[in-house]
Homo-oligomer: A and B are copies of this chain.
Amino acid sequence: MTVCEHEKEHELAAQRAKANMPGEEEIAKVASAFKSISEPCRLKILFALRQGEMCVLHIVEAVGGTQSAVSHQLRLLKANGIVKSRREGQNILYSLDDEHVLAVLELACAHLQCHI
């Protein structure tokens, strides 16, 4: 199978794309980050944390599901740098890691609005 011939004007874009493709490692990291925010339960957690930091049981209350499931998801989100946590007495308070996370959430909602 050969590349289409009569689209020479796009050949350049293809070459640039290949030259500028990020390495496998960076691709994997970005993919992992997006994957961590691509499940309904985890997404609900992030939407909840827009309101400020919260302990695990408050999160459970806001998003539904079991404590165990939420805790598993939180671990994944933290491992991917999406949320951060700090201990306060018996509680662990979670919050969005940085402004990028919030910005991505807002962009996603804006994108959906454009596609109604």
Question: A10–B54 contact, CB under 8 A?
Answer: yes
Tell me if A27 counts as interface (CB < 8 A to partner B).
Answer: yes
20 residue pairs A–B, Cβ–Cβ below 8 Å: A4-B90, A10-B58, A14-B51, A14-B58, A17-B54, A21-B47, A21-B48, A26-B109, A26-B112, A27-B44, A30-B43, A30-B108, A31-B39, A32-B38, A33-B108, A33-B111, A33-B112, A100-B107, A100-B108, A104-B104
CA distance A26 to B89 in the complex (A): 35
- Write the nearest CB–CB distance from A64 to chain B, whole angstroms: 9
- The number of times this chain is found in the oligomer is 2
A10-B55 in contact (CB<8A): yes
Q: Are B53 and A10 in contact (CB under 8 A)?
A: yes
